[in-house]
Chains A and B, each alone.
Chain A
Amino acid sequence: QVQLVQSGAEVKEPGASVKVSCKPSGYTFTDYWLHWVRQAPGQGLEWMGWIDPNSGATSSAQKFQGRVTMTRDTSIGTTYLELTALRSDDTAVYYCARGVVITDSRLFDYWGQGTLVTVSS
């Protein structure tokens, strides 16, 4: 069965960087894009960007450009989200989600369990 397993919780100081991993299983790693979505405490969902594990191509929301890097390691079937220059308002649960196309509809069908990143001094 399809699973996306993410790395554990992180606590970082303002100005630091964090790198979250997402390791899919149950399907061919390079067949589907992976997206990153975050959720601040008590708030809604915010899309951050996508990575194509096959080509390594990425795109991120303008809000995060310059601070976010999405990469993948095909040898171990894992994708990474790195966020730099952390601020207190980056405190959130970060999710990876598999993007699929079903009859021309684009959707996120499987999600990781989430990684809590806390930014605090």
Chain B
Amino acid sequence: DIQMTQSPSSLSASVGDRVTITCRASQSITNNLNWYQQKPGKAPKLLIYGASMLHGGVPFRFSGSGSGTAFTLTITSLQPEDFATYYCQQSYSFPRTFGQGTKVEI
């Protein structure tokens, strides 16, 4: 199975901050990397697919980059509604695997 490791596990930030979350895969997954946002008590919501493609309706302050084994999710100018947990997920092979999550807190 491909292991996905996110860092940091949590971070504190303020409205307007630039936030970067890193995700590493245990082997190359080319660009088969998705990012999801989850708020408490809610289902995950797709933000980024194919490592860098913004899903429809997602604000442009979210961006993704990387390929191979190293990926980043960047949120420029953090907004109040962005405080949530973020997960990366590889879609290169089965079983699909997720990172452990990064909680973005105030």
Give the distance in Å from the alpha carbon of A104 to the alpha carbon of B89 in the complex: 15
Report 18 cross-chain contacts, Cβ distance below 8 Å, ordered by A residue.
Answer: A44-B100, A45-B44, A45-B87, A46-B98, A47-B96, A47-B98, A59-B94, A61-B94, A62-B95, A95-B43, A97-B43, A102-B50, A105-B53, A105-B91, A109-B55, A111-B45, A113-B43, A114-B43
Report yes or no: B43 in contact with A111, Cβ–Cβ below 8 A: yes
- Contact across chains for A108 and B34 when beta carbons are under 8 A apart: yes
A103: chain B residues within 8 A (beta carbon): 50, 53
Chain B facing A: main interface SS? loop
Interchain CB contact under 8 A, A102 and B49: yes
Interface residue ranges, A against B (CB under 8 Å): 35, 37, 44-47, 59, 61-62, 95, 97, 102-109, 111-114
B97 at the interface (CB under 8 A from A): yes
Partner of A107, one of B38, B49, B94: B49
Is residue B20 within 8 Å, beta carbon to beta carbon, of the partner chain?
no
Q: Check if B46 sits within 8 Å of A109, measured CB to CB.
A: yes
Would you give the 0/1 interface string for B70-82, flagging 1 where the beta carbon is closer than 8 Å to chain A? 0000000000000
Assembled-state Cα–Cα distance A25/B19 (Å): 36
User: A102 touches which one: B43, B44, B53 (CB < 8 A)?
Assistant: B53
**Closest residue on chain B to residue A105 by CB atoms:** B50
- Chain A residues near B34 (CB, 8 Å)? 105, 107-108
Cα–Cα distance between A107 and B54 once the two chains are bound (Å)? 12
Rounded to whole angstroms, the CA-CA distance of A64 and B100 in the bound complex is: 20
CA distance A69 to B78 in the complex (A): 42
Provide the residues of chain A in CB contact with B49, threshold 8 Å.
102, 105, 107
Interchain CA distance A109-B36 in the complex, whole Å: 10
CB-CB nearest in chain B for A6: B43
Least Cβ–Cβ distance between A46 and chain B, in angstroms: 7
Residue of B with least CB distance to A45: B98
